[in-house]
Chain A
Amino acid sequence: MNAWTQGFPAEHCPEHHTPSHGWSSSHIIVTFRPQREMFLARSIAADHKDLIHDVSYDFHGRRMATCSSDQSVKVWDKSENGEWICTANWKTHSGSVWRVTWAHPEFGQVLASCSFDRTAAVWEEIVGESSDKQRGLRHWIKRTTLVDSRTSVTDVKFAPKHMGLMLTTCSADGVVRIYEAPDVMNLSQWSLQHEISCKLSSSCISWNPSSSRVHPPMIAVGSDDSSAVYSGKVQIYEYIDHTRKYAKAETLMTVTDPVHDLAFAPNLGRSFHVLAIATKDVRIFKLIPMRRDATHSSTPTKLEIQVLAQFDNHNSQVWRVSWNITSTLLASSGDDGCVRLWKANYMDNWKCTAILRGDGIPVNCSHDVVSQQSLLTASSAERF
């Protein structure tokens, strides 16, 4: 058990957070918090044998999947008292597993993973069909392996639910593939619907989650290609109803450094889209679809692009970005080993509101103090 962290104002330590239960493999630490945002760091003995590359919550936030270079995926379930318990652990690929992602629960308990071994796989949890007693009532079985890529599959994402059961992969040779399961009850049959060639080695993809019929399906692809120095590393593709193909709507030319992750913010009825990008800094873009006539539906929507924010506080490569469900908070993590939370005030000014360390030690570097100051001002803003 870690003690209370130093430099923490005494009045900010509520009694009930004192670590009291004896769970040996985990400890609870209260990390730095600005005023009302208090985080308990619960460290979990993940017991992966190599790097963990991705963590993913399911739709309802009760399950978590981790994937690692040790070629396995683990599924964690939250118990009544809030502990995360590993309920499944199996070897998924014959190479590093880069990403793991959950399908919408409407389609069942379904995971997709992608790997260095050039494949992506779809897994489904089966309850009580196995005769094998050791595996227990629940176990995960492989429904399909997608083998179309000739290089490492770097990202896998399910499309938004309203599009049906669709899966997208991107690979190191710059090809984005969109698969569809025509029958949602049959997860072993996937047909390759689209192949988009991005020319640049792709590292990450993100679907625009908007369910509006005004917004055609849109996908953003990030590249970590370091050989093409001056080209834009984020491409945005849009589905054209007329040609039934995806066409490039935009390239973010200002992003020229390798992109490691990108994420569209939950749309929540907005008319525009917000895209967060993890490159050598954190960037937030606003993409405003311009009005267009129905007659020009054979070309992609024109997008007006605004930079909402750009932060280099990580002072290093940023590896991951993630939005909360109301898209009011953006979390980013970088090579500095910190997670930073970003929040906009009512003026659309984005500020850092918290810095979290993976081991729970509060951050006390000088430049961080500055951002702590600024977050105090930010937190007086109206909270949505």
Chain B
Amino acid sequence: MEKMSRVTTALGSSSISGRTMFCHLDAPANAISVCRDATQVVVAGRNIFKIYALEEEQFVEKLNLRVGRKPSLNFSCADVMWHQMEENLLATAATNGAVVTWNLGKPSRNKQEQLFTEHKRTVNKVCFHPTEVYMLLSGSQDGYMKCFDLRKKESVSTFSGQSESVRDVQFSMKDYFTFAASFENGNVQLWDIRRPDRYERMFTAHTGPVFCCDWHPDDRGWLATGGRDKMVKVWDMTTNRAKEIFCVQTIASVARVKWRPERKWHLATCSMMVDHNIYVWDVRRPFIPFATFEEHKDVTTGIVWRHQHDPHFLLSGSKDSTLYQHMFKDASRPVDRANPEGLCFGLFGDLAFAAKESLISGDASRKPYPGGDRRYPIFFFKKPNPTEQFAHVSSALSVFESSVESRHMDWLVKTARLYLLSGKPFAELCDHNAKVAKELNRPQVSTTWTMLRIMFSDPANLSTPGPNHIGKLGTLPLMNSFSMKEMGTGLVAEGRLERSKGESRQDNLHLEPGNSLINSNNDENEETEGSEGQAEYMFGDAELDDDDLYSMEHENHAAEEQEYTLPQEAFPLRHEIMDNPSAPEHLQQDKADSPHASGNEAEVMCLTPIESFSLISISQPLFSPHLPAQFFCPVVREMLIHYAEQGDVQMAVSVLIVLGDRIRKEIDDLTQEHWYTSYIDLLQRLELWNVSNEVIKLSTCSAITCLNQTSTTLHVNCSNCKRPMSNRGWICDRCHQCASVCAVCHHVVKGLFVWCQGCSHGGHLEHVMNWLKSSSHCPAGCGHLCEYT
């Protein structure tokens, strides 16, 4: 289609063909102009004035108009124009104020025909009348425009813009007598060539200089203007007042503007500084260039469409001393690289999605002609016009909200809130957290907590004598190999436990759980004497187990019962996930039995892990009397790392805190710090400040605990002399008295200090509370009736 148009539109002369090509000039170009049949181009500049022939593959220099040994300033051109009717006639605007015409038909080397030296300053622009052969118009820096009849020696009329410099003059295509002039003060004037006394119309087009203007070639009365304010505006001049109908915002001041032939909405612009590219805009979509030519290395000074009916070739000259012919199909299309979609994941699993509307509704529009349908020849397939497609775009913005019941992040928030990390005995923390995980439908995590409780709250010993040591070593590799095989590390421990249970079960079935625990307690008592460091922990844990023991024997604690049911519920899942061929069969029996089990039985059943565990410790007295807590450390370490690598840093940190010293040494500090920072960052994102603070407080990494102290300054003033205290302690430097003394016990208060807002006496919270039970007067004896709220 494009080819056809080219042939028909170029009928007047030979058809135009060519490619993107360039040639080096001797000097920077200021302006270019092309002859009517598009076969030659003239390049003019301060030090150049040449004519090149446009051939298929290259530019060929035809003529150098700059002749003479010492060319006069008349050759220094600011602008050049080739007459569109008379193919031998050229006009140039010289920087010294001369307007020169050139006749290429002259036989001599010097083709200069006429010289008008009427302007006092640089002539910025010359313009031939589109239909009148001898009429030439000039616009100068001195603020005057002059009209010349080339048959006469002097100008026929002078137009005074009564303002600063004239930057551009252009004869109207539509109206024989009208021309437009643009000024440095931002105005555009319309003149009638017959009335030199006063302009017909004037309007302010831009803020700052208007560097260029161009009439629409299709006779519509549209005028495009470009200014230093980086804008191109299109004015409808047919109405009484010039009406701005389009405004294109470019990124640099606009030096030239040229409507594109045969394309109603397109115009080309180039810039005066900074930006070296040539842009072609569709005025209906003023934000993004339709096409860009990026070849020039310096400012582009002249652009001209090669033929007035051919939209495919653009010529340009530049300060970088090159002359280019650009082919439109080689232009880069910024919109192709511009991304038509935006996508962002919100905090709670929301998705914000913005997309070009044609992409979203693409399927609907394609429906009449599904892809596989070949009934219609491709020829009839009406392809939407690319320029039409370009002009009409918009984006649809939508937010996909994950619905309430499946909020992605809910479990994370709830878990963070509900987990207990400190403040209770270890086993209770584990049980609580297991329960939380269970309720949030995360059985694996829940099971892990349960396992942790079992592993570490068992009254295990630390120092194992020689022979036992061997036994321990024997089991360790076995365990590791499991952990490599199994996916969930939480399951590793389980699998291992079940195994050992299977081994030990037969000969120990008759043993009561109670007995086993008592035995183990005895064992522990014997052996803890030797170990000092961990004794505290061991003792506390042992006590816990006693509690467990009692509650189990009495079997009447409702709360405990609830807790105990947890592991039982976790059982069925084990088998589903694990699919371990070597899993002991009795477990399936357990599973089958459990629904029918009575309360008492169920309780025993659900305690199987504990039971079996204590069984191990007794049933293998020959190898090791207990499995020490340390024994599990490698497994737990691996489990934590597994959770972290899976992205569940919450689990890793929570376990790390709850286990505390039991596991801390197993994991290197940098990794711990990394987990902490990641988790804290996550909590802060979710605005869980309290949890985040708790984690910071409970962390053992120095880098983390100091987070709470950054940019916190405490200023203390002495309560006696009201002066700022030095940081030396509790005694004021100046009055040498203890500040903040408790009114009741007369000791310095370190910690919570409560005081009456009336008399400002106070002291230890506990002491003051006790005092107030007996008296409502101030304990300091000031007689004030204190009120504490």
Interface residues of B in 153-212 (CB under 8 A from A): none
Interface residues of B in 327-356 (CB under 8 A from A): 334, 337-356
The answer to whether B353 and A356 touch across the interface, beta carbons within 8 angstroms, is yes
The answer to whether A39 and B409 touch across the interface, beta carbons within 8 angstroms, is no
User: Secondary structure at chain B's binding surface: helix, strand, loop or mixed?
Assistant: mixed
Alpha-carbon gap, A334 to B342, bound state (A): 10
When distances are taken between beta carbons in the complex, the residues of chain B under 8 Å from A336 are: 359, 362
CB distance from A133 to the nearest CB of B (A): 26
User: Secondary structure at chain A's binding surface: helix, strand, loop or mixed?
Assistant: loop
Determine the residue in chain A with the shortest Cβ distance to B677. Answer: A211
The answer to whether B251 and A210 touch across the interface, beta carbons within 8 angstroms, is no
Alpha-carbon gap, A56 to B343, bound state (A): 7
Alpha-carbon gap, A336 to B356, bound state (A): 11
Alpha-carbon gap, A267 to B674, bound state (A): 10
The answer to whether A69 and B345 touch across the interface, beta carbons within 8 angstroms, is no
The answer to whether A66 and B408 touch across the interface, beta carbons within 8 angstroms, is no
Contact of B352 among A50, A64, A98, A326 (CB under 8 A): A64
When distances are taken between beta carbons in the complex, the residues of chain B under 8 Å from A384 are: 646-648
Determine the residue in chain A with the shortest Cβ distance to B362. Answer: A337
Alpha-carbon gap, A16 to B404, bound state (A): 10
The answer to whether B645 and A271 touch across the interface, beta carbons within 8 angstroms, is yes
Any A CB within 8 A of the CB of B679:
yes
Contact of B674 among A16, A82, A211 (CB under 8 A): A211
- The stretch among A135-143, A229-237, A305-313, A314-322 that forms the contact with chain B is A314-322
Contacts A213-B670, A271-B645 hold; do A339 and B353 have CB atoms under 8 A apart? yes
The answer to whether B338 and A98 touch across the interface, beta carbons within 8 angstroms, is yes
The answer to whether B670 and A212 touch across the interface, beta carbons within 8 angstroms, is yes
Determine the residue in chain A with the shortest Cβ distance to B364. Answer: A361
Alpha-carbon gap, A129 to B670, bound state (A): 44
Interface string of B388-429 (1 = CB under 8 A from A): 000001111111111111101100100000000000000000
Alpha-carbon gap, A36 to B403, bound state (A): 9
The answer to whether A333 and B341 touch across the interface, beta carbons within 8 angstroms, is yes
Determine the residue in chain B with the shortest Cβ distance to A211. Answer: B677
The answer to whether B395 and A46 touch across the interface, beta carbons within 8 angstroms, is yes
Contact of A44 among B397, B652, B675, B685 (CB under 8 A): B397
When distances are taken between beta carbons in the complex, the residues of chain B under 8 Å from A68 are: 395
The answer to whether B395 and A38 touch across the interface, beta carbons within 8 angstroms, is no
Any A CB within 8 A of the CB of B602:
no
Contact of A94 among B230, B400, B677 (CB under 8 A): B230
The answer to whether A339 and B343 touch across the interface, beta carbons within 8 angstroms, is yes
Interface residues of A in 39-85 (CB under 8 A from B): 39-46, 48-57, 59-61, 64, 66-71, 82, 84
The answer to whether B287 and A49 touch across the interface, beta carbons within 8 angstroms, is yes
Any A CB within 8 A of the CB of B72:
no
CB distance from A45 to the nearest CB of B (A): 8
Interface residues on B, range: 35 or more
Any B CB within 8 A of the CB of A192:
no
CB distance from B607 to the nearest CB of A (A): 26
When distances are taken between beta carbons in the complex, the residues of chain B under 8 Å from A270 are: 644-645, 647
Any B CB within 8 A of the CB of A359:
yes
The answer to whether A53 and B288 touch across the interface, beta carbons within 8 angstroms, is no
Count of chain A residues with a beta carbon within 8 Å of a chain B beta carbon: 93
The answer to whether B360 and A324 touch across the interface, beta carbons within 8 angstroms, is no
CB distance from B255 to the nearest CB of A (A): 16
The answer to whether A331 and B359 touch across the interface, beta carbons within 8 angstroms, is no
Contact of A69 among B288, B403, B649 (CB under 8 A): B288
Alpha-carbon gap, A260 to B336, bound state (A): 11
Contacts A324-B345, A356-B400 hold; do A96 and B287 have CB atoms under 8 A apart? yes
Alpha-carbon gap, A51 to B396, bound state (A): 9
When distances are taken between beta carbons in the complex, the residues of chain B under 8 Å from A211 are: 674, 677-678, 681
Interface residues of A in 166-181 (CB under 8 A from B): none
When distances are taken between beta carbons in the complex, the residues of chain A under 8 Å from B402 are: 37-39
Contacts A214-B674, A271-B645 hold; do A50 and B348 have CB atoms under 8 A apart? no
The answer to whether A57 and B352 touch across the interface, beta carbons within 8 angstroms, is yes
The answer to whether A95 and B249 touch across the interface, beta carbons within 8 angstroms, is yes
Interface residues of B in 679-697 (CB under 8 A from A): 679, 681-682, 685-687
The answer to whether A41 and B398 touch across the interface, beta carbons within 8 angstroms, is yes
Interface string of B411-451 (1 = CB under 8 A from A): 01000000000000000000000000000001010000000
CB distance from A46 to the nearest CB of B (A): 4
The answer to whether B673 and A52 touch across the interface, beta carbons within 8 angstroms, is no
The answer to whether B347 and A95 touch across the interface, beta carbons within 8 angstroms, is no
Any A CB within 8 A of the CB of B250:
yes
CB distance from A26 to the nearest CB of B (A): 9
Contact of A50 among B288, B346, B360 (CB under 8 A): B288
The answer to whether B337 and A48 touch across the interface, beta carbons within 8 angstroms, is no
Any B CB within 8 A of the CB of A346:
yes
Contact of B685 among A59, A82, A212, A360 (CB under 8 A): A59
Contact of B343 among A61, A321, A360 (CB under 8 A): A321
Alpha-carbon gap, A69 to B398, bound state (A): 18
Contact of B334 among A116, A261, A271 (CB under 8 A): A116
The answer to whether B674 and A337 touch across the interface, beta carbons within 8 angstroms, is no
The answer to whether A325 and B347 touch across the interface, beta carbons within 8 angstroms, is yes
The answer to whether B342 and A53 touch across the interface, beta carbons within 8 angstroms, is yes
CB distance from A344 to the nearest CB of B (A): 9
Alpha-carbon gap, A84 to B350, bound state (A): 12
The answer to whether B394 and A48 touch across the interface, beta carbons within 8 angstroms, is yes
Alpha-carbon gap, A192 to B19, bound state (A): 42
Contacts A50-B393, A52-B397, A384-B648 hold; do A38 and B285 have CB atoms under 8 A apart? no
Interface string of A255-293 (1 = CB under 8 A from B): 000001100001111111000000000000000000000
27 A-B residue pairings within 8 Å (CB atoms): A36-B405, A43-B397, A48-B394, A50-B393, A52-B355, A54-B354, A55-B342, A57-B347, A57-B352, A69-B287, A69-B338, A96-B334, A118-B251, A152-B334, A211-B678, A212-B674, A268-B647, A269-B653, A324-B408, A325-B409, A326-B408, A336-B362, A337-B359, A339-B353, A356-B400, A358-B359, A360-B398
B residues with CB within 8 A of A? 230, 249-251, 285, 287-288, 334, 337-356, 359-363, 393-406, 408-409, 412, 442, 444, 487-488, 577, 641, 644-649, 652-653, 670-671, 673-675, 677-679, 681-682, 685-687
